[in-house]
């Protein structure tokens, strides 16, 4: 069966510091991968999605970036965090055109 | 852009009551999904609907894909305290590479 992992589970970072969140999927190959942000426990905002290694589509322009160095690895990064980057970050995977399944999330607090 | 209107925004009910929530859109979807999210966790898929008119049950949960393909509802029968959480609908547009459009969620509170 497929599983999706995210780490860290919780992160507290100062403003202006860099960020790297990791997501990995097991039990499937060539998945579509997604990064979402959720503020205040409501509403999911799609940030990035990827249909293959090195292929990244951005939905919302901001100071975040994503990379997919391996088939089942998706990384969310920032060079300099802003206060407004605080939130709950969710990674999801799907088969092409399939149903999305979410990871456990990373709670980010920028101070 | 496309939007999903999910209602109600929140519900406070007594244990044992039935619950109904729905999502509507001006766009036509080829898939409707319902997720439940508990505090501090990722959304968990409850029911997936793939055909207009489809009615699917998962235990005490029942969901339907509207015949116009623009709406869906989720019913929970005989609610229990562990039903507490935020329920999200999501729709997948034709040709969207699998990307989903999410409703803003229905926050369910159940009083024992």
Tens of pLDDT, residues B27-39? 899 999 999 999 9
What is the H or E stretch that residue A85 is in?
A: none
Question: Cβ contact (<8 Å) for A105 and B42?
Answer: yes
What residues of chain B have any CB closer than 8 angstroms to a CB in chain A? 31, 33, 35, 37, 39-45, 48, 86, 88, 90, 92, 97-100, 102, 104-105, 107
What is the percent of chain B with per-residue pLDDT over 70, rounded to a whole number? Answer: 96
- Tell whether the model's pLDDT for residue A61 goes beyond 90: no
Q: Determine the distance in angstroms separating the CA of B78 from the nearest CA of chain A, rounded to an integer.
A: 25
Instruction: Supply the pLDDT for residue B95.
Output: 66
Mean pLDDT score, B14-30: 95
Cβ atoms within 10 Å, residue B59: 8
Question: Cβ contact (<8 Å) for B31 and A99?
Answer: yes
- Tell whether the model's pLDDT for residue B1 goes beyond 60: no
Task: Determine the Cα–Cα distance for residues B53 and B5; give it in Å rounded to an integer.
Answer: 19
Question: Cβ contact (<8 Å) for B86 and A42?
Answer: yes
* Cα atoms in the Cβ-side hemisphere of radius 13 Å centred on A90: 23
- Tell whether the model's pLDDT for residue B111 goes beyond 60: yes
Question: How confident is residue A62, by pLDDT bands cut at 50, 70 and 90?
Answer: confident
- Among candidates B80, B74, B36, which has minimal Cα distance to B56? B74
Question: How confident is residue A89, by pLDDT bands cut at 50, 70 and 90?
Answer: very high
- Using a CB-CB cut-off of 8 Å, the residues of chain A touching B37 are 41
Residue of B nearest to A105 (CA): B42
Q: Taking a C-beta distance cutoff of 8 angstroms, is the pair A73, A31 a contact?
A: no
Cβ atoms within 10 Å, residue A43: 16
Instruction: Supply the pLDDT for residue B46.
Output: 97
Instruction: Supply the pLDDT for residue A42.
Output: 72
Instruction: Supply the pLDDT for residue B2.
Output: 64
Q: What is the pLDDT of residues A65-85, one digit of tens each?
A: 999 999 999 999 999 999 999
Q: What is the pLDDT of residues A30-49, one digit of tens each?
A: 999 999 999 876 789 999 99
């Amino acid at each position: 069966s497929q599983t999706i992992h995210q780490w860290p589970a919780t992160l507290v970072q100062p403003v202006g510091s860099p960020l790297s969140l990791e997501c990995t999927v097991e039990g499937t190959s060539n998945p579509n991968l997604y990064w979402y942000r959720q503020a205040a426990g409501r509403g999911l905002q799609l940030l990035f999605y990827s249909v293959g290694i090195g292929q990244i589509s951005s939905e919302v322009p901001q100071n975040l970036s994503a990379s997919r160095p391996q088939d089942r690895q998706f990384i969310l990064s920032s060079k300099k965090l802003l206060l407004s980057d605080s939130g709950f970050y969710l990674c999801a995977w799907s088969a092409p055109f399939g149903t999305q399944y979410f990871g456990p999330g990373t709670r980010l607090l920028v101070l | 852009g496309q939007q999903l209107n999910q209602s109600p925004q929140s519900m406070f009910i007594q244990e044992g009551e039935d619950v109904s929530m729905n999502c509507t859109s001006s766009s036509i979807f080829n898939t409707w999904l319902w997720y439940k999210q508990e505090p501090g966790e990722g959304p968990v898929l409850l029911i997936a609907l793939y055909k207009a008119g489809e009615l699917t049950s998962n235990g005490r949960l029942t969901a339907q894909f509207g015949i116009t393909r623009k709406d869906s509802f989720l019913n929970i029968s005989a609610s229990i305290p562990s039903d507490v959480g935020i329920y999200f609908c999501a729709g997948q547009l034709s040709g969207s590479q699998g990307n989903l459009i999410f409703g803003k969620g229905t926050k369910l509170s159940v009083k024992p």
